[in-house]
Chain A
Amino acid sequence: MVSDREGPVERKPRCTTISGLEIDRVYGPAQTAHLDYARDLGDPGEYPFTRGIHPTMYRGRLWTMRQFAGFGSAEDSNRRFHYLLQQGQTGLSVAFDMPTLMGYDSDHPKALGEVGREGVAVDTVEDMKVLLRDLPLDRVTTSMTINAPANALLAMYIVAAEEAGFVWPELGGTTQTDMLKEFIAQKEWVVPPRPSMRFIQDMLVFGARELPRWNIISISGYHIREAGATAVQELAFTLADGIAYVQAGIDAGLDVDAFAPRLSFFFDCHNDFFEEIAKFRAARRMWARIMRERFGAKLPRSWWLRFHTQTAGVSLTAQQPQNNIVRVALQALAAVLGGTQSLHTNSMDETYALPTEDAVRIALRTQQIIAHESGVANTVDPLGGSYFVEALTNRMEEEAGAYIRKIDELGGMVRAVELGFPQREIAEASFRFQQALERKEKIIVGVNDFATPEETPIPILRIDPEVERAQIERLHRVRAKRDSAAARAALDALRRAIESGENTMYPIVDAVRARASVGEICDVYRAVHGEYREPAII
């Protein structure tokens, strides 16, 4: 009997996933007996899409290889984008620096030392124009990791594209715009949760009207996981965030099928190979059921959980950094076996700084090896029907479902965030994991075991401090050159729009055209709604 726990002695009293889920010695038909193929799995491209959202998956089209990039000045990042496109990358992904993420201009006192460091600095549409210079914006899709000021950066993107001769309907891309996960995990915010949700509603309405190829929200589990959540928590909190956004769109008067097809997701892919694959499969099944049963969506596209994956930054080690290439390869393979639509593979040097060009190339080549050499893209959902993978997929669904019910009982995710519920659950999980490391119940190769006394240093990308000075100068030049009365008037109009409750996207676009900066626009938000301050809980 496979369930017999007697017999030969095992290496450990219990085997658990990296998230702490206990795993049996072996899985068999008993664990999957209750599965109904049509109801619970379905062929690829069939509801509930457990096996994939497309009938052909990677036989039809490979996943999009999308390396997140952005550093220093807009010129530096633009050069990196051209390089990545030449290397065969098929989509762009922009990282912004911390001041931009927090809605501060580069000359704000809080921006000191941060300009261009973790991403590119964008203050005005002039920076955006440099960032996008000579890129085929009608052919590439651009993903922008921006949240609190997402409305302002989206406005800059479409104004910059328009001034380069493109029209709005041909622009394809994604803004992250997932404020709930900011309050839960990533913690870059401007105004409190409820007014943040209001801005998102305006963006959903604007997107449905003006930008048919734009994904307004990328519902992100990545940061939740990186903040220390378990796989189940990542899955549950991400889908609960998704539920809140769908409800917000419906509350804004939109038909669910008018915007749900353009919602996309963004997940982490961590070290535990099968747990991650099960998470992706469970996510698709759960979202399909949520959209059809809970929200009554009618279009199959509304039921699809399309997702981008990034390998787990938090799993990389500063020690023996070359080992990270292997970790990333395994994580990327799990993401592909889980059916991701696009993928970012981390570079081996990212525990220290943004990656060097050589390290990025290895990361991209890792994806190309999986795509073209390993053979895993030849068939759809090759692990479907595996006793273990199906049992684990069910387990993820059950446990994440319990969390979602709890959040519903609290009054939904916005309320749960105000109560600090997901924040506390994640802090607990990350503390438990750290303790498991200290006790060596979990091993990280090169860190708490298999360490080497001598470390070989690897090259690190350095950001020239000159970037900060030059960026501030450029901002000052834009301010000096613009019609400041027009900029002021546009910002005043924005303030009136926020106060009167009309759609804020149109006045934001006007303010951006008048060369108002991110900081000036977000100052208007702060003036009306106040700045969010998180209660400091440990």
Chain B
Amino acid sequence: MAEKIRIIVAKPGLDGHDRGAKVVARALRDAGFEVIYTGLHQTPEMIVNAAIQEDADAIGLSILSGAHMTLFPRVVTLLRERGAGDIVVFGGGIIPEEDVPALQAAGVAGIFTPGASLESIVRWVREHVKPRGVRA
């Protein structure tokens, strides 16, 4: 049997709006993924450390402070620097449509803007995240 996919759900930045992160974490868990929620106010360094230590297959970021253009690409860069660039990074929050191309270019694989359904997030993760061992 294939190993369970492990996902870190993380809240970078200083905003405390964790409603979305918690709802998504719970939906992913209910969908059969193994979910580790980091809690609030995480720096990109803390998130990347957690992902590597927990041997995660993906990181889901939630941010509502407007700092996504700084913090999302920083997570991707740090992963690559640590040789873990194959960990899939996706994220959501109040992200204007026009910021999406730049985030994708920076290596954020999936962006979910306000109103995205839980079902669409779960489906995306099923399609885009594979256990890292299998992919390598």
Contacts and interface: CB of A to CB of B under 8 A. Distances in A.
5 contacts: A113-B69, A351-B114, A352-B94, A534-B40, A538-B22
A506 B40 CA distance: 32
Contacts of A109: 43
A113 B37 contact: no
Nearest to B120: A438
A227 B26 CA distance: 15
A34 to B, nearest CB: 38
Interface stretch (B8-16, B53-61, B78-86, B127-135): B8-16
A478 interface: no
A430 B19 contact: yes
Majority secondary structure of chain A interface residues (helix, strand, loop or mixed): loop
A317 interface: yes
Nearest to A229: B19
Interface residues of B, number: 37
A188 B119 CA distance: 30
Contact of B65 (A117, A437, A444, A460): A117
Given A318-B114, A318-B115, A431 B26 contact: yes
B14 A536 contact: no
A64 interface: no
B77 to A, nearest CB: 13
Q: Which of B16, B39, B65 has the most CB of A within 10 A?
A: B16
B35 A538 contact: yes
B16 A186 contact: yes
B14 A111 contact: yes
A49 B67 CA distance: 44
Given A186-B16, A534-B39, A538-B26, A351 B94 contact: yes
Interface string B31-69: 000010111110100000000000000000000011101
A463 B66 contact: yes
B100 to A, nearest CB: 12
B104 interface: no
Nearest to A314: B19
Contact of B13 (A113, A182, A227, A317): A113
A538 B22 CA distance: 6
Contact of B23 (A102, A188, A351, A430): A430
Contacts of B16: 182, 185-188
A353 B40 contact: no
Contacts of B26: 431, 538
Nearest to A100: B14
Nearest to B12: A113
Contacts of B25: 538
Interface in A37-74: none
A157 to B, nearest CB: 22
